[in-house]
Amino acid sequence: MGLVIVLFFAMVCSRLLYLQLFKRVAYQKISENFSLKETPLLAQRGILTDCKGRVLATTRPSFNLFLTPQKIKDTQALFEKISKITGQSQEIFSQILEKNKKTPKYKALLLMQDLNSDQAAQLNIFKNLAQKNNEYADFSAIDLKIEPLRTYPQSELFSHPLGFVRNEGGDWLGVQGLEKFYEATLRGVDGKEQTVVDAFGREMNALAFGMAKESLLENPLPGKNLQLTLDRDLQEAANTAFGNQSGALALLELKSGDVLALVSKPSFNANQLLSNISAKEWKKINEDELKPLLNRTLQAAYPPGSTFKIVTALTGLMEGKISPQEKFSCPGYYMSGGRRFSCWNAKGHGQVDFYHALMSSCDVYFYKLGERLGVDRIAEYAKRLGLGQLTGIDLDYERSGLIPSSEWKKRVKKEEWNPSETLSMAIGQGYDLVTPLQNALMMATVASGGKKITPHLVKNEEGKEGVKKNEEGLKIPAEIYKTLMSALKGVVQDPGGTAHRIALPGVEIGGKTGTAQVVNYDTQGRKAKSRKTEDHAWFVAYAPAENPEIALAVVVEHGGHGGAAAAPIAQAVLKKYFEVYHNQVWKEKTDEPRKKSRRP
């Protein structure tokens, strides 16, 4: 054994001496004229489909242009020529080089994607000329490859929940939405291909250099597909109903927590943001005053207005501070602490009980109820209903909103809570801030009898069961549930309800309108006349009223009254839901006159 080991090492040493002493010049010449070029092989990104299997995000073949910096002598001249062929700005090429300056020079960088066939053909001609004409020598640094490119067939319809991907240092990464949250699942594993090339970029026979082709190839592994909870039909209905208005809608299924629609307006075209966009263009989109990149469903928080009266009402019943039969007098205002708190109905509602207070959205009733409850009781129930905290949805950058308490004001404002502030809070004004998704969750929690619901967008991951089970949350006693739901149903079904205009034949709906002040009124009740100072319009709802299946929330920025601006959008989505899931057929509209819009 000792002799065998000695002979083995003697053979190895002799081979090393042979290569170093006798073949050094030959191999040095090879190394100077030939090099190893590495090209990434992109993994096929997982496909995203809606709940019925319709494709929302996929990949398609794309002519992509790569650049190997090691081969360039005159960078500016090469970029100028490529720019003339492709029409792409030289500035973008320079930005890519700068961004990847720490990447090894022999690695190919993605310079452009999705070239058309004419552009690809012209670049290929110049690359072939590189070995014959010194004028085009730098074209030996480029390569054209057909690779998978992410594409969004209904981009603007799903841009906020899906998000998009961008090329970061040669890797395609999700930067927003589901593309970011499920990056590890969707991306797969990239491969790479190494080839031996000469000084002109021509591929050489790897075997001549003692390298097997297989050893230079690592095949990519595709990412996993995801089926989403979103329904394209409902998403389209909501998008159409919004028109050119800014705002958001969230629609949840009660039993599963599935998010059936998630719409934020205005939207953007994700296909335009994948690559080849200059810093100037990106800045323009980011600084657009309409904020198209903002996912308003979970990243924008608004005062909830009168939709918060659901929280105040439930708190009063649960804490025994009000009975359904007790009546409060509403003369159109309420005096507290020497301050006048107005009702939206300046003439007053007269004597109102629980049902009529919610149905007609009487502010005075809820001022008085809020005064009985106090800020901390209301805050406790608001949070148990999902407000003022993250919902747990599978998306990043969610805002928590704000439900104030006496402890919060002392900690943040360094002041004691003023009892009069409870009156504003009780009707959804003051410090209160909620996201549309939170308001939809609040409505879903109430409609389900208090069950804890976690909204989510992925129905299942390829090879896994993805439906999440809801846990027990706030238990609402049957009698209280019946009382509250009856009043919420009255908001839509009762002719005096603030949302009666959207009542549907054959389907009973429960809900609550809301009008959230954007600016404070002065002592004379006036405000600047401007679209930006107009109130936000809210509507939250559940349906069917007797056996709730879904809940939603709609906000229209600067839309005015909830019953006039937000409720019709909800109606359009509810109609589509019952068409699709219950085969409901709607009769043509009659010429029956509508009642005037009621506030809030």
The tens digit of pLDDT for each residue in 118-168 reads 999 999 899 888 877 888 888 988 889 888 889 999 989 999 999 999 877
Q: Which residue has the higher pLDDT, 200 or 295?
A: 295
Question: What pLDDT does 597 receive?
Answer: 45
pLDDT band at 48 (very low <50, low <70, confident <90, very high): very high
Question: What pLDDT does 210 receive?
Answer: 56
pLDDT band at 596 (very low <50, low <70, confident <90, very high): very low
Determine how β-strand 48-49 pairs with β-strand 226-228: parallel
Distance, in Å, from the CA atom of 300 to the CA atom of 401, rounded to the nearest integer, reads 8
pTM of the model as a whole: 0.84
Q: Which residue has the higher pLDDT, 426 or 38?
A: 426
Query: Contact 141/62 with Cβ under 8 angstroms?
Result: no
pLDDT band at 105 (very low <50, low <70, confident <90, very high): confident
Question: What pLDDT does 592 receive?
Answer: 43
Q: Is the peptide bond before 292 cis (omega within 30 degrees of 0)?
A: no
Q: Cα 130 to the chain's mean position, in Å? A: 47
Q: What is the pLDDT of residues 256-302, one digit of tens each?
A: 999 999 999 999 999 888 866 777 888 888 889 999 999 999 999 99
pLDDT mean over 5-19: 82
Q: What is the pLDDT of residues 289-308, one digit of tens each?
A: 999 999 999 999 999 999 99
* Biggest distance spanned by C-alpha atoms of the chain: 112
Structure tokens at 419: 């009892």
Helix (H, G, I), strand (E, B) or coil at 39: strand
Question: What pLDDT does 529 receive?
Answer: 57
Phi, psi (deg, nearest 5) at residue 289: -65, -20
* Alpha helices by DSSP H, 41-129: 75-86, 90-99, 117-129
Question: What pLDDT does 571 receive?
Answer: 97
Structure tokens at 42: 């992109």
Question: What pLDDT does 300 receive?
Answer: 96
pLDDT mean over 592-597: 44
Query: Contact 98/69 with Cβ under 8 angstroms?
Result: no
Q: Cα 491 to the chain's mean position, in Å? A: 31
Q: What is the pLDDT of residues 392-415, one digit of tens each?
A: 999 999 999 999 999 999 999 999
Distance, in Å, from the CA atom of 216 to the CA atom of 48, rounded to the nearest integer, reads 32
Structure tokens at 410: 């002392």
pLDDT over 80 (residue 326): yes
pLDDT mean over 356-374: 97
Question: What pLDDT does 483 receive?
Answer: 97
> Among all chains, which residue has been given the structure tokens 């930005």?
95
Query: Contact 307/441 with Cβ under 8 angstroms?
Result: no
pLDDT over 50 (residue 68): yes
**What is the number of H-type helices and E-type strands within the chain?**
21, 20
Nearest to 494 by CA among 361, 306, 329: 361
pLDDT over 70 (residue 595): no
